[in-house]
Amino acid sequence: MRDFLDDRRAAARVIRSIDPDVLCLQEVPRRLLATWRVSAFAGECGMSWSGHHRGSGGTTIFTSRRVGEPTVETHRLPVRPGVRRRGYAVVTVEPPGYQPFTVTSVHLSLDPDQRVRHTRQLLAELDERAGRGRSLISGDLNEGDTGRAFALLAQGHRLVTDGALTFPVSNPDKALDVVFAAPDVVVRPGRPVDLDEADVRAASDHRPVWVEIEIIPL
């Protein structure tokens, strides 16, 4: 979201068109009036927000009312002083009548060695979570499928966004924004969404990606 430097209203229109149950965001505002600004944006998108993203490195997650009351966590990833803070957000949703599901939003560094360290930490911490089997990891990796962090994620998860090109928004030639799924997650063919191209280009410097999954009844 580039700290809302782009057209926030266009971004909200794109999100309402996709109409997600869980929305992973990166680069939301973190400083002056950040909580109020992110909360207002969630409302513009027609979604709910937990109300905090402290320590998440600018990542956060919105949810729709269809998935019930979510459990949200934020985690820091260590960086040297003076380097942009990094972190990730995790939400567990329990749609009424269905088993819980976990989704993670992450934004990795521009530094390849730091990407590897952070991915190792992320995977280790997610592995400790209860109910960790049914899960998605979504975010801006700042690298493609030849990167080392990408390879680490691919060891225990599978890419389910099929290499969709997302950056730069006007003429994308890089698949930086991805969704990985745990082995037990069933991904369905996504329904077509007719997005307004002008809104997509005004909303961000990246294009959105999304997947549809099956959830398991209780």
Could you report the per-residue pLDDT of 37-90, keeping only the tens digit for each? Answer: 999 999 999 999 998 788 899 999 999 999 988 999 999 999 988 788 899 999
State residue 52's pLDDT score: 78
Query: What is the distance between the alpha carbons of residues 182 and 148, in angstroms, rounded to a whole number?
Result: 19
Average pLDDT, the chain: 93
* pTM more than 0.75: yes
**Residues 85-106: b if buried by 16+ CB within 10 A, e if exposed:** ebbbbbbbbbbeeeebbbbbbb
Distance CA 1, CA 22 (A): 16
Q: What is the mean pLDDT of residues 119-133?
A: 81
Q: Which residue has the higher pLDDT, 82 or 101?
A: 101
Q: pLDDT for 136-151, tens place per residue?
A: 999 999 999 999 999 9
